[in-house]
Amino acid sequence: MDLTGILVFLLGACIGSFLNVCIYRIPRNESVVHKPSHCPGCGEKIRALDLVPVLSYLFLKGHCRYCGGKISPQYPLVELVTAALFLAAHRFWGLGWQAAAMWIFFAMLITVSVIDMHHKIIPDEILITGLVLGVPSIFLASPGKLISGAIGFFAAGLLLLVIALASKGGMGGGDIKLSAAMGLFLGWPGIIVALFLSFLAGGLSGILLLATGRKSRKDAVPFGPYLAMGGVVASFYAERLIDWYLRISGL
């Protein structure tokens, strides 16, 4: 890995650390800026030395320095996943506005996925922040991509809205808004690939959960993580998957 790649990886890890703050505080209506980082168990302020992404978790052996409470492995995992996706985007698109747009996209997906898994909600403020930062980045990357993104935004939002109405509550409003936001970043027809993969993964996972008795038909399963998974895969492979489909279908 060259120096630029190392710096991008470290940037991603630091952003991942901030995403952990958002993941913990936003569902609790706490500020992500003003309140210093603290242990959720004892409330003690965390020193800067203990805020180093991944390394602090390893050094402290997954426990709070002050009260000994266990630190969730989610924290280093989010940091590593964010760092890996930032590096992958850099390798795929180089350094530029397109990579920056995808960094914003991936950060948004990671944050909403973890929050949805824990709380079964997708906060509007995360999606709005993603759109506010994403629109200028996409435009600077290519005005044409912004036009494609606008088409994807309305197409995905409308499609999920129709599904939500048809399923009579089977699809949440947060999922509708997240799919629309994904459409902005992925454009048309990339968002279709993302949604197809999301429904495929969600359907297979649902069958497995029902078959193993871990969930019943009445249990709600957060769909945000599946949308995020589809969005990440489509970011890198949408064109290849579309070409493959057209080739085998003879279209």
Query: pLDDT, tens digit, for every residue of 118-132?
Result: 999 999 999 999 999
- 174 and 116 in contact (C-beta within 8 Å)? yes
pLDDT level of residue 251 (50, 70, 90 thresholds): low
For residues 50 and 70, what is the distance between their CA atoms, to the nearest angstrom? 14
DSSP-derived secondary structure letter, 213: T
Tokens, residue 64: 């709070």
The pLDDT assigned to 49 comes to 85
Whole-model pTM: value is 0.93
CA 46-121-235 angle, to 5 degrees, is 90
Residue 233 CB burial class (10 angstroms; 0-12, 13-18, ≥19):
middle
Angle at alpha carbon of residue 123, lines to 228 and 179, rounded to 5°: 40
- Dump pLDDT digits (tens) for 140-157: 999 999 999 999 999 999
Distance, in Å, from the CA atom of 186 to the CA atom of 28, rounded to the nearest integer, reads 30
Please state whether the peptide bond connecting residue 222 to the residue before it is cis, i.e. omega within 30 degrees of 0: no
